Amino acid sequence: MRPFFEKTNKPMLFGHRGYSEIAPENTLPAFSLCVEKGIPGVELDVHLCKTGELVVVHDSNLKRVSGKDVIVEELTFEELRKLDVGSHKGMEYAGEQIPLLSEVFQICGDKLYYDIELKASNTKNIGLEQKTWDTICAYNLEKHCMISSFNPFSILRFNRLTHHALPSAVIYDEGKGVPKVFRHGWGRHIARCSYLKPDKQQVSKETMHKFHEKKGYPICTWTINSKDEAKALLELGVEGIISNNPGDLLNLVKQYKRG
């Protein structure tokens, strides 16, 4: 099975929204900490705000991270920049702002690999995929990025406009926010993706045989924070692990090889 990226021969370890166990998720300190700790990759989320900027934040509603009951897509970038998305993690992070994807690339560059989750709520083309691709190309990070989404139509659109230039995946779990038809990876037929990104609860010997061994999909799974869980998944043959506390798993992941 080929690795996600050309220069890697080990399973990939990604910091979930950066090093979110320590720093506030999806902020520049969280991504910079991954660089500092030698974590090879980060998983992050991108939305388009009202004025069209590509911002890095997970939830569409920002109440959880900012205390304000507001929607990313309904605010201008200037309005978003006024929000404090760090204090919820600790007062040492007070005043941290929602970053642009371009700012993450400026600071971390090719020191990291990036799993970029596209936050698209429906099938409408709002330009999210094009702006994401343009930003990746502007920083010459094509060989350092992979794309994923719960929305298979967003992945299909990205793959069409880029001619399948990057590894891409549908994300899925059995959560209420995921349509039943997409809860077990069926969205791959729409997305024409190259790997799969299931919740760890759906990774088993049987599913690895079905998707990994028989159908040839590399598997990247989330969110793994214990060494025992990580070891069990690596023994099954997963190609990628996403963790809130990736530093605890780094030495373990280094023991495994792929390709």
CA dihedral angle for residue 166, residue 172, residue 176, residue 180, rounded to 10 degrees: 110
Domains and CATH numbers, the chain: 12-253 (3.20.20.190)
pLDDT score at 2: 58
* DSSP bridge pairs for 14: 41, 242
What is the per-residue DSSP string for 38-81? T--EEEEEEEE-TTS-EEE-S-SB-HHHHS---BGGGS-HHHHH
Distance between CA atoms of residues 26 and 219, nearest Å: 23
Q: What angle do CA 17, 29, 39 make, to 5 degrees?
A: 60
Annotated catalytic residues are 16, 58
Percent of the chain whose pLDDT exceeds 90:
94
**CA–CA dist 3, 10 (Å, integer):** 7
Residue 217 has a pLDDT of: 96
pTM: 0.97
Phi first, then psi, for residue 59 (nearest 5°) are -80, 145
Tens digits of residue pLDDT in 130-164: 999 999 999 999 999 999 999 999 999 999 999 99
Q: CA triplet 69, 66, 14: central angle to 5 degrees?
A: 120
Q: What is the pLDDT of residue 6?
A: 76
pLDDT of residue 7: 72
Average pLDDT of the chain, as a whole number: 96
- pLDDT: which is higher, 91 or 2: 91
Span 204-258, pLDDT tens digits: 999 999 999 999 999 999 999 999 999 999 999 999 999 999 999 999 999 998 7
Residue 92 has pLDDT above 90, yes or no: yes
